[in-house]
Each structure stands twice: as C-alpha cells, then as structure tokens.
Amino acid sequence: MTGTLEVVNPFDLTTIGSVPLVGWDDIDGSLKVATQLHKTRKAWLPAHQRAAILTKAATLMQDRFEDLAFQIANEGGKPLVDARIEVTRAIDSVRLCVHEIAGLAGEQIPMDLTQAGAGRIAFTQREPIGPVVAISAFNHPLNLIVHQVAPAIATGCPVLVKPADDTPLSCKSFVDILLEAGLPEEWCRFVPCDLATAEKLVTDPRVAFFSFIGSAKVGWMLRSKLAPGTRCALEHGGAAPVIVDKSADFDAMIPDLVKGGFYHSGQVCVSVQRVFAPKDMAEEIAERLGSAASQLVVGNAIDATTQAGPLIRPREVDRVADWVAEAEQAGAQILTGGDKISATTYAPSVLLGVPKDVKLSQNEVFGPVVCVYEYDSIDAAIDQANGLPFAFQASVYSQNLKVAMQAVQHLDATAVMVNDHTAFRVDWMPFAGRRQSGYGTGGIGYTMHDMTQEKMAVIKN
C-alpha cells in the first residue's frame, strides 16, 4: 500500500470516496502475469468467450444506469443530463466492441502475380498485440475508459488501466463490472498510482501498446520514453475553430455553438473555442451567443437543473480567469461572463475581438469560454484557424455548398463538421488529433485494429 487517493465532488469539494494507490511491486506482478498470459497461447480467451463477457458487461451497465450516471456527475462535474448520455454511449461502445470482434479477420493475398510467387497460397490473420497499458482523462470518466479497455478485452489483450486521479471511481466500476461479467481478474487490472509509478509502468519493455488520453505535455513526454517496440496512441486537445459563412442559418447555429462550447463547461478536447465570422456579422453573432450562454444554469453537476458544472479543480478556474483577464486587458470585449462565480465555477463567457497573440487565441482553454473573431475573407479565416501547432476537429456553417467544401478541403483537421458543432462524435467514427493534438486514431474499431497485429501464412503447394 502506497497511500490513498481521495475523490471529491469538484463543485463543493466534499469527499465522496477513495481508492488505494497501487505500488510498483503489485504492478510489476500484474505486468508479469499479463506478459505470461500473452505468451501462453493456450491461455488466450476465445472470441466467443470475449464476446459473451462484453455482452454481459453491457447488460450489467444498463442495470446500473442511474448509479453510473450519478457517479460521473459526482466525481467529474459533468451535468447529470450529459452524464446519462455518457452512460448510454459507454454501453453502446461495449456492444460495438462485440460487433467488431467479427471483423478481426485477415485476407487472402494473391501470390501468382509474378512467377516468383506462383504455386503458393497466402492469407493473413490478426492476433492480439500483447499487454496494453491505458492512462485516461477525467472529462469522460466512463466512456473514455470503455474506449481504452473494452477494445483490449475484445481483441484478447490483457490490460492495466490507470484512471485520472480526479475520477477513478467510474473506472473502478467498469473494471468491477467486467470481472462480474466473467472476465478473469488477471486480464484487467485497475492500477491507480502516482506519476512516477505510472511512468515506470508505461516505459516497461513488457508493454506492447500504450493508450493515453490527457494533456499533450504528459502524453508526448511518455511517448518519448517508450521502450523500443511499444506501440501507442495519444489523444490530446486543440482549440477547435468554427468558420461562419454569411449564408449560415443563425437560428439553428447559435444553440449548436452554445452546446459545443459549453458542454461540460468546455472541458472537452474538441470543444468550440474559436468562432470566425464575417466582419459585419461578428458582433451580432457574439451578442446572440452571449445572450444564450448567460442563461445557462451553473451549479453542482448532481443537480438535475444544472447545465454547466464546475471545472475539475479550483486552480483551473484561476487559470481561465487569468487568461480572460489577459485578453480583456489586450482589448477583447467581454459580452457575457468573464468572472468567477465561485472558487470552483466560472461563468460561461463569450469574448469578441480577442487579439491573436494572447493565451485564449494560442492555446486550448479547456473551460467555458468561446471567442469570436472577425474576418474579411474565408481564406483569411481558414489561415488563422490553421495557424496553431495543433489540430483536431473543426466545423463550418454555411448554406453555400461551394463555401462548405472550401472549408472541408482547406481546414487542417481530421474531421470537418458541416452545419454542426466541433464536439460532435459517435463512437464508431475515426477520432484523432493532428500534429501536437495526438498520434494514432481512436474510435472503437480503429483502436481494436491498433491492438492487433497481422500475421501471414504462405503455403507452398
């Protein structure tokens, strides 16, 4: 035992639970067992057993739906209405893993394309890559864990999972559900630990695949220290841009942008942050966004009426306040918000005319702040949107197909939403950051592919 991790409600900071931290000796033992499981092919779980376990797990999650939703809201600060959506997505994601198991198939490789290959038959099959280590983030404490752990189980990889320090309870609940559903304990270990122990785990040469969701600073640091041969996937953040064309349907767009910008108080890696609007329309758009944002109910996420909850830690409230103050001092106009409500909450805020060189324009805010910028031409807006060292999802609002396609083709993003906000996602689509925003591609099927490796058999007749 190396200590205890206390879990608090991020709104009122009351203690709601705790989990014991796991020390290196225990983790080393679990990793040794995981490595042996992978090496001993007779110990591999057959596909039908993996599918049955995940199917049972989805049923147990459905049975505990409200408890899981309350836990997400209570430890992570996501409003209860959104926490329920997360539980639904998590259940669907587990079921999607079951569906994708049938797709873990190889293909026939034609060999007689030249004389050298004639007289041979070749085919491929996919095998589990080996022990997986997953480190997750706080903002979707159940569904992110599902996206990292359930694909490992589905592909037959033993997995060790370290949750975010702020939100370990949802992770533990999911691991416990997997075990209750029939998964042998050695195939999935819950290993909350300190950063030094986590780094030692991640960089161990026995790790075959490392899955990380969290800050770019930590993710890229850990990737730089991986042992030779360890594969990885990193998911970080961005400062999602929205291009508004003069033909956009403002009545439909405004509630969209409010949802995309203030969902989970902006603590989403693809949250709407930078809105680029025609110069003669920018003020009106900012005012309408500000008016809608000012009506959001801020409070404890476990209250049914709350629409925007707390930030995960008080220091994040202070950071957002500092960034907004810097922008205001540099000439930005605050149309709504712009201040702390309490030590743990920040008012949903809309700013207009934010200078390009302040932190709000240069970095991911990860808080309830949307900035509106004026542009003279679509080309100039796209150039500014592409001007940061990270890129994730983007969007364009337009009723003009030519303009929409211009944005799709020229925005530097892995996905461009047309007439939808940047935070849209379904769990089977590819989901990835470019440049400093990440490495590899998420999404259930894509993660399962990464957690397997291809083997070819060539049979000479």
pLDDT tens by residue, 281-299: 999 999 999 999 999 999 9
Kindly report the pTM of this predicted structure.
0.92
Helix pair angle (47-63, 65-76), 10° resolution: 80
Return the CATH number of the domain spanning residue range 240-427: 3.40.309.10
Helix (H) or strand (E) holding 120: strand 120-128
Q: Catalytic pick from 86, 235, 316, 364?
A: 235
Using DSSP, state whether 373 is helix, strand or coil. strand
Please tell me the distance from the alpha carbon of residue 423 to that of residue 269, in angstroms, as a whole number: 8
- In terms of Cα–Cα distance, which of 365, 357, 366, 355 is closest to 332? 355
DSSP letter assigned to residue 389: S
pLDDT at 216: 87
- Residue written as tokens 């005012």? 287
Please tell me the distance from the alpha carbon of residue 284 to that of residue 376, in angstroms, as a whole number: 16
Sequence letter at residue 32: K
Q: Which residues contact 340 (CB under 8 A, 6 or more apart)?
A: 317, 321, 346, 347
* 208-227 as b/e: b if 16+ CB within 10 A: bbbbbbbebebbeebbeebe
CB atoms under 10 Å from CB of 257, counted, come to: 26
Please tell me the distance from the alpha carbon of residue 370 to that of residue 278, in angstroms, as a whole number: 16
pLDDT at 287: 96
pLDDT at 404: 95
pLDDT at 1: 47
Give me the residue spans of the domains in the chain: 4-236+437-460, 240-427
CATH superfamily of 4-236+437-460: Aldehyde Dehydrogenase; Chain A, domain 1 (3.40.605.10)
Q: Is 235 an active-site residue? A: yes
Please tell me the distance from the alpha carbon of residue 207 to that of residue 323, in angstroms, as a whole number: 39
Q: Which residues contact 181 (CB under 8 A, 6 or more apart)?
A: 53, 54, 56, 57, 60
Q: Is 454 an active-site residue? A: no
pLDDT at 232: 96
* 66-79 as b/e: b if 16+ CB within 10 A: eebbbbbbbbbbbb
Residue 275, CA distances (Å) to 5, 113, 214, 308, 342 in order? 39, 53, 24, 20, 27
Query: Low-confidence residues of the chain, pLDDT below 70?
Result: 1-2
Q: Catalytic pick from 157, 188, 193, 269?
A: 269
